[in-house]
Amino acid sequence: MSIIDSLRPAPGLRVLISAGASGIGAAIALAFRETGARVHVCDIDRLALDRMAREAPEITSSMADASVPEDVARVFDDVEGALGGLDVLINNVGIAGPTGALQDLQRGDWERTVAVNLHSQFYFAQRAIPLLKRSQANPSLIAMSSVAGRLGYPFRTPYASTKWAIVGLMKSLAIELGPHGVRVNAILPGTVEGERMNSVIGARAATAGVSVEAMRAEYLRKISLRRMVTLDDVAAMALFLCSPAARNLTGQAISVDGNMEYL
């Protein structure tokens, strides 16, 4: 195999992506499909799953709340039926959680953020590990964290806390699973360009009483490259981490963020 060929995941990989019907998850799902992978996604959003089914009918799917262990168990039943095993898990589920000073947050909002962002990582990894150990295809687990998993994030403490915890989980699992040939890494996306970010910038601009252009410039000043990343930037990193070229990469928290300097 040439160096160039090694940069592409092997065709036929069996891939599960949680929260895979929209956003980053969908971009990763479609990218793996282009490499010839067999892809299964799960999502809590029925409309997004239906849209994925129309756009990529070869991608199988399950509807599930990733914070509910029984739902996760059903996802893996579906995966066994559709794929017959697993070579790659992309643990992608996450919510933004509440915004506000810690002393003002509601306990239920904290607990929901932890349940979705962190407990789901445990539920999916626990179910996937026996399947990944049986894989002979350079098995890989990718945990989706965030730039908020390496920087402090004032007034977003529940979100940041879970994203830091995901990095700790990943690094510990990399040590546990290394002797079994299973690699574990985390991707830390930064500010992702798109409609969601445009809405955030518009809302922040209105609140601050400044123009949208001024608020966008404020966001870009935090990034060394002075540009946001795209969904495809994150998907490309996921493909690389599952390629033969990354066969000795494990235990790494890899930022895809243009070097976000602060939040």
* pLDDT single digits (tens) 117-133: 999 999 999 999 999 99
CA distance 65 to 70: 9
The catalytic residues are 159
CATH homologous superfamily of 3-191+230-256 equals: NAD(P)-binding Rossmann-like Domain (3.40.50.720)
* pLDDT single digits (tens) 7-32: 889 899 999 999 999 999 999 999 99
Which carries the bigger pLDDT value, residue 121 or residue 203? 121
pLDDT, residue 155, reads 87
Count Cα atoms within 13 angstroms, Cβ side, for 169. Answer: 25
For the chain, the structural domain boundaries read 3-191+230-256, 193-228
Q: What is the mean pLDDT of the chain?
A: 95
Average pLDDT over residues 168-192: 97
Average pLDDT over residues 124-143: 98
The model's pTM is: 0.94
